[in-house]
Amino acid sequence: MSHNSKKLLRVEGLVKKFGGFKALNGVNIDVCQEQIVGLAGPNGSGKTTLINVISGVYRPDGGSIEFDGGSIYKFPSHKLVHKGINRTFQVPKPLSALTVWENVRLAAVYGSSEGNPLETIRDALEFVELDNLKDSISAGLTFAQQKLLGLATALATKPKLLLVDEIAAGLSHQELNWIAETLLRIRATGVAMIVVEHHLGFIDSLTSDVVVMNAGANLFRGSIQEAAQHEEVVEVFLGR
């Protein structure tokens, strides 16, 4: 795949402890500008924890994180949003009493200092094709629409790096294709991504660059085709 080879994110030796338990035990991952990196691994392998640490929800306990040429180690999430890192949640978290438009407006106002917020909101909603539902109360959205709203709120903060956590889980085949297409359109606007997904098929539809984690550590980095031939990768995916 074609992408600018300039490094946008470089994570080395990342450690995150919960009490005495190391959920991340020296993880490395890097992402180039406009690249999609798939992140796979069994449940509990540390994928969401990695997203939470990179996005500043959790503070790391060791290692280094560089973004756009400088250290962002231990930066809080609001600062990271302004630097150009945002994420979606495995379980979508819209403010359910607010409308779709109001949710995206909050993100646009809070997360992005550039441009006209009204245009930012409109563009984000058009991008995920939720503009026709802009006045609907978020609580009434389907699960798939809530995931799209999560993408729209992230987009409204104008990220350079978008961290997408298990967006395909619980969606129909048709919804899944639509989400994959939407992520590819987002990438085409110059946004790099880490896409966390348990199932390699979804990752395969987005990128050939995949990292596989197991037990808080890197197990593999390479193409999906190589992953499918890799004995330990096959073992952690099938041997559970």
Footprint on this chain of ligand ADP (rule: CB under 6 A): 18, 23, 41, 43-49
Q: How far is the CB of 116 from ligand ADP (least distance, A)?
A: 37
46 binds, options Mg ion, ligand ADP, none, Cβ within 5 to 8 A by partner type: ligand ADP
Site membership for Mg ion, residue 88 (CB under 5 A): no
Q: How far is the CB of 193 from ligand ADP (least distance, A)?
A: 16
142 to 108, 155, 206: CA distances (angstroms): 23, 20, 24
Residues 34-73 contacting Mg ion, CB under 5 A:
47-48
Q: How far is the CB of 215 from ligand ADP (least distance, A)?
A: 9
120 binds, options ligand ADP, Mg ion, none, Cβ within 5 to 8 A by partner type: none
Residue nearest to Mg ion (CB): 48
**Closer CB to Mg ion, residue 49 or residue 182?**
49
Strands (E), the chain: 7-18, 21-32, 36-40, 62-67, 70-71, 85-87, 161-165, 192-196, 210-214, 217-222
Written as six digits, the tokens of 140 are 């009434």
Whole-angstrom distance between the N-terminal and C-terminal Cα of the chain?
32
Name residues whose C-beta falls within 8 Å of residue 175's C-beta, 6 or more positions apart in sequence.
144
Distance CA 125, CA 130 (A): 5
**Closer CB to ligand ADP, residue 41 or residue 84?**
41
Residues near Mg ion, by CB under 5 A: 47-48
